[in-house]
Amino acid sequence: MPKQTFLNLEGSKRKVITNAFLREFAIKPYDQASLSDVVKELGIAKGSVYQYFEGKLDLFLYLVGECNQTKMKYIGEITRKSYPDFWAFFRALYECGYKFDSENPLQSHFLFNLIENLNSPSIKHLHNEMLSQTVKAFEEMVEYEISAALFREDIPVKVMGFMLYKVGVSIQEQLIFSKTIEPLKSIENNTSVFLNKKEELMKTVDDYIRLIKPSFDK
Amino acid sequence: MPKQTFLNLEGSKRKVITNAFLREFAIKPYDQASLSDVVKELGIAKGSVYQYFEGKLDLFLYLVGECNQTKMKYIGEITRKSYPDFWAFFRALYECGYKFDSENPLQSHFLFNLIENLNSPSIKHLHNEMLSQTVKAFEEMVEYEISAALFREDIPVKVMGFMLYKVGVSIQEQLIFSKTIEPLKSIENNTSVFLNKKEELMKTVDDYIRLIKPSFDK
DNA sequence: AAAAAATGTGACTCACTAGTCACAAAATTT
DNA sequence: AAATTTTGTGACTAGTGAGTCACATTTTTT
C-alpha cells in the first residue's frame, strides 16, 4: 500500500509520477526496472519514492492494482449471459480491451508487459499467484460452458482452461511476432498499443476463434 | 565460440565447468545468472572463465549450441514420413524428448528454461531470432500438412503455425502449473525433469492432441 | 510570528555484477 | 636444466541497483 504522503499528493503530480513508473515497468522486467532512472527522469529525489511507497514491490503492486481496477471498469460490464455463445463473449472482451487500450495507453502498456514482467525471479511468488487466479477464471468459464452442454466434456477442465488462457496470450504474442503491433515503439511515441490497428486485432482474434472453436465446441 | 584453451581442457574438467553453468542458467534468466557465483561454487578463478570464453554471452551461446546438438541427436531421427499423421509424429517428438531428458537431465533443464531465460533485455535479439526459427519450422510443418490435404486451409498458415508452437509450449507450462513436474526441485535433487513422470507427460500430450486435433485436421 | 508537522533531498551505505590485468604456477619445448 | 608457452589467479575497476538518513524546505497549526 502506498503511504498517506503519496495519496495526499496533488492529483497531477501523482499522475506524473505514476505514469513515469508505469512506463518503466512497461519496458523492463521487474528486476531490471530502475527506480534510480525514473527519479532522475522525473527530477525528484530518490528518497521521495520511499516517502510515497514502502519499497519497489509496494510501488509495483500499486501500479498493478490501479491498472487492473481501470481495466475492470471496462471488462466488468461484459457478461457471458449477454452473448449467444462463448466465442461472441470472448470476442467482446477483445473489443473492450481495445477500448481500454485506446483510452488508457500507458496502463494498457503496463498490463501488456505484466506477464513478461512477472518472470523476474524476485517476484516468482506473485507470478504464480496471478497465474493461478487467471487460469482459475478460465477454468470456471469452461465449466460453465460444459454444464450448458456447449463445450465438449471428454477433455479435463484443467487442460481446456489452461489452453484457453494460452490462446488469449497467444493472440497478443502473435500480433507482436508478426509486428502488427510494436509495444516498445508505441511507448516511445506515446501512443496506444493498438492505435489504428483495430481491424488487424479483430481479424487475428477472429482467425483464432475460427481455428480453436472446433476444439472446444461440443 | 569458446577459446582453444577451453577445448584443450581435460574432458572431465570441461564437463564439470559446463555443468555448473548449465545449472546456473537453468535456474535464472540470463541477466540474473551470476558468473561470480558459479566460479565460487567451482572453486576456480573468475579470470579462468575469460580464458575459456570471450564473455558471458559467448559462454551462454556455447551452452545453447551444445544442448541443441545433443537434443538433435535424439529428435533428428524422427521424420514425419514415418508416421501416418501429424499427431503421431507430434507425439513421437515428446516421447523422444522424454528419452533426451532422462539421459541428459542437466541439458534438458537448461533447454527447459531457455525460453524464459531469453526474456532478459540484454539478449532480446537472440530471443527474436530463435523464436523466428522455431515458429518458421512449425509453419513449414503446417504447410506440409495442408499440401497433403490433411490440415484445413481456411486459416492463415502463420496463425496455425504460431498456435502449434504455442501448444508445444503450453504442454510444458501446464505440467509445471499443475506441479506434475517441478524443474527447480529436480535441479536441486539432481534428477531429470520427467523422472517417473512419463505416464503423466504422455497423458497430457494425448489430452492436448485430442483437444486441438479438430482445430487443425481437415 | 513562532512552533510543529509534513514533505522533499541527495550523498551515502551495502551488495552486487561483468570484465581486466599484472602476476604466479604449471606444463611443454628446447 | 633452462627457456618458453600455456594455463590459472584474485584483487581490482567501473558500473549497476535498492534502500537509508540526517538535514533542508515547505506547509500547517498554534
Each residue of A166-180: pLDDT tens digit? 999 999 999 999 999
Task: Please work out, in degrees rounded to the nearest 5, the angle formed at the alpha carbon of residue B106 by the alpha carbons of B100 and B109.
Answer: 80
Q: Quickly name the fold that domain B66-216 has.
A: Tetracycline Repressor; domain 2 (1.10.357)
Scanning the structure block, which residue is given the C-alpha cell 497465474?
Answer: A131
Confidence check: pLDDT of A144 > 90: yes
Alpha-carbon distance of B194 to B175, in angstroms, equals 10
Confidence check: pLDDT of B27 > 90: yes
Through-space distance between the first and last CA atoms of chain A, rounded to whole angstroms: 46
Under a CB-based contact definition with an 8 Å cutoff, are residues B99 and B74 in contact?
Answer: yes
Nucleotide D20: closest residue by CA–C1': A47
Find the closest chain A residue to B208 by CA distance: A159
The amino acid present at B171, given as its one-letter code, is I
Whole-number Å distance, CA A45 to C1' D23? 14
- Domain ranges in chain A? 63-216
Alpha-carbon distance of B153 to A210, in angstroms, equals 12
Kindly determine whether residue B135 and residue A177, on different chains, have CB atoms separated by under 8 Å.
yes
**Weakest-pLDDT range from A37-46, A113-122, B13-22:** A113-122
Sign of CA dihedral A83, A85, A90, A94: negative
Average pLDDT estimate for A193-216:
97
- Work out if A29's Cβ lies within 7 angstroms of strand D: no
Classify residue A198 as exposed, middle or buried by CB count within 10 Å of its CB (0-12, 13-18, 19+): middle
Whole-number Å distance, CA B9 to C1' D7? 10
The per-residue pLDDT for range A178-197, each reduced to its tens digit, is 999 999 999 999 999 999 99
Residue B65 pLDDT: 98
Residue B112 pLDDT: 93
Grid coordinates of B1: 565460440
Does the A63-216 domain belong in CATH 1.10.357.10?
yes
Grid coordinates of A108: 494498457
Residue A116 pLDDT: 86
Name A77's Cβ contacts closer than 8 Å, sequence gap at least 6. Answer: A96
Kindly determine whether residue B162 and residue A170, on different chains, have CB atoms separated by under 8 Å.
yes
The per-residue pLDDT for range B126-180, each reduced to its tens digit, is 999 999 999 999 999 999 999 999 999 999 999 999 999 999 999 999 999 999 9
Residue B187 pLDDT: 96
Under a CB-based contact definition with an 8 Å cutoff, are residues A86 and A145 in contact?
Answer: yes
DSSP letter, residue A32: T
Q: Is B1 helix (H, G, I), strand (E, B) or coil?
A: coil
The amino acid present at A86, given as its one-letter code, is F
